[in-house]
Structure formats: C-alpha cells, structure tokens
Amino acid sequence: MILVEECKLFPHTLIFIIPSFLISLLRSFPPSLIPSFPEFRHGLRYCVRERYSARMFKPDPVPGETLARILELAQHTPSWCNCQPWQLVITCGEATERFRGAIYEHARSGAKPQPDFPFPSAYLGAYRERRKVCGVQLYQALGIGKDDRAAAAEQSLENFRLFGAPHVAIVTTDEALGVYGAIDCGLYVANFLLAARNFGVDTIAQAALASYPDFIRSFF
C-alpha cells in the first residue's frame, strides 16, 4: 500500500519502472532535502518495526497538514463490503484539554467501567504471562515497586490524562454493523498507527478510554 502511495507522486507511465534501489536511495535522504516527497521517508518495515506505544507526549500540536496525510493514508484500510465504517472525532487545543479534564475526573471519581464490548473475562496461560511482563516492564521503567498499588493505580489513571498527548482520536462505528464493524475499526486503528509513525507522529491505542463509552458519547 505504501508503494502505491509513493507511486502516485510520479507520472503514471513511470509507476512500474521505478527501480527499488532508487526508492531506497530517496528514503535515505534527509527529509529536509525531499520536502515534496515525505512519503519516501519511511518504508513499511520501518513503520512496523519502529512503532511503539508512547506513554508520554510533547504538548506540541501535530500540524493540520500532517494529520490530514495520516488520515488520507489510513483511509485505504480494507473493510467488509467496503463500508469503511470507522468514524473519528479528533480533538485539538482547548478541546483536548476539556476532554482530558473531564474524562480524568470521571475515571478518578471511581466510575464503574461499562464498555460497549465486554473486556476480556480472563487472561490465561501465555496471555497472562505476556500481560504480566508488559506490566512489570512498565512499572520498572517508571520506578514503581511491585507492591506499590497506589502508584500503579495513579499510573493507570494517566490513561485518562491521555499521557499528555495534544490530540485524541476517538474511533466509533455503527452498532448495527456488530462485531464486523469493530474488526474493520481494528484494522483501521492499526493502519492509523503505522501511518502516524510514517509521518513522525507517536501514538498509543487506548482501550482504557473504551471503559466509559456513555460518558464519551454524551461529552461529544
């Protein structure tokens, strides 16, 4: 898919004859030297390998043009019957701050999570192990002791501060599409994260926000 994006930049007749070494060469140029070819900055391998879940963000807003490019790329996600059933609300500036403040207070008040799709009922075997390793690594990186439940709970609440991110994208779909709409949204989210990585923007997917769908619906 990324190759198709790249090829769009060339006259149609050249699409099939760009040698791969030329693509590699262009990718190795500093982005400043190829301002009109930003899609050449990274390949799929780079985006998949280098994407990671960021849990601390700079407050600087992502330029509107970059957001538009990410959305344009992610929009090529395949979907059941080509419904493209993902709908997005993306906050900027004051809107992010209002949402951050409101959902943080809601979560901190001890509101009971009521996700539209039930959260996993159990993590068994390898899933339990991987989940544990993931938590241990996070708390170790943050210097949180394994018995310090208060600090762990505080860190968990950082989800509702959006980890300091300047934007949040809420992805929703039509209830009538059921689980298949949700699968399409999952594919979309994956591509969105990779597209963001391609344009130098860090991200994190947050199931934590799906704890309070009624609150989010009424907020927006």
Ligand X SMILES: Cc1cc2nc3c(=O)[nH]c(=O)nc-3n(C[C@H](O)[C@H](O)[C@H](O)COP(=O)(O)O)c2cc1C
φ and ψ at residue 80, rounded to 5 degrees? -55, 125
Residues that bind ligand X (CB under 6 A): 52-53, 55, 134, 159, 204-208
Which C-beta is closer to ligand X: that of 22 or that of 134? 134
> In angstroms, what is the minimal distance from the CB of 54 to ligand X?
8
Check the CA dihedral 168-207-106-153 and report its sign: negative
> In angstroms, what is the minimal distance from the CB of 207 to ligand X?
4
Question: Nearest 5°: CA angle at 218, between 186 and 167?
Answer: 55
Other C-beta atoms lying within 10 Å of the C-beta of residue 184: 22
Which C-beta is closer to ligand X: that of 24 or that of 137? 137
> In angstroms, what is the minimal distance from the CB of 217 to ligand X?
18
Which C-beta is closer to ligand X: that of 134 or that of 153? 134
> In angstroms, what is the minimal distance from the CB of 167 to ligand X?
16
Which C-beta is closer to ligand X: that of 37 or that of 180? 180
User: For residue 41, which of 199, 190, 194 has the smallest C-alpha distance?
Assistant: 199
Which C-beta is closer to ligand X: that of 55 or that of 106? 55
Residue type, 17: I
Burial class (CB within 10 angstroms; exposed 0-12, middle 13-18, buried 19+) of 162: buried
> In angstroms, what is the minimal distance from the CB of 200 to ligand X?
17
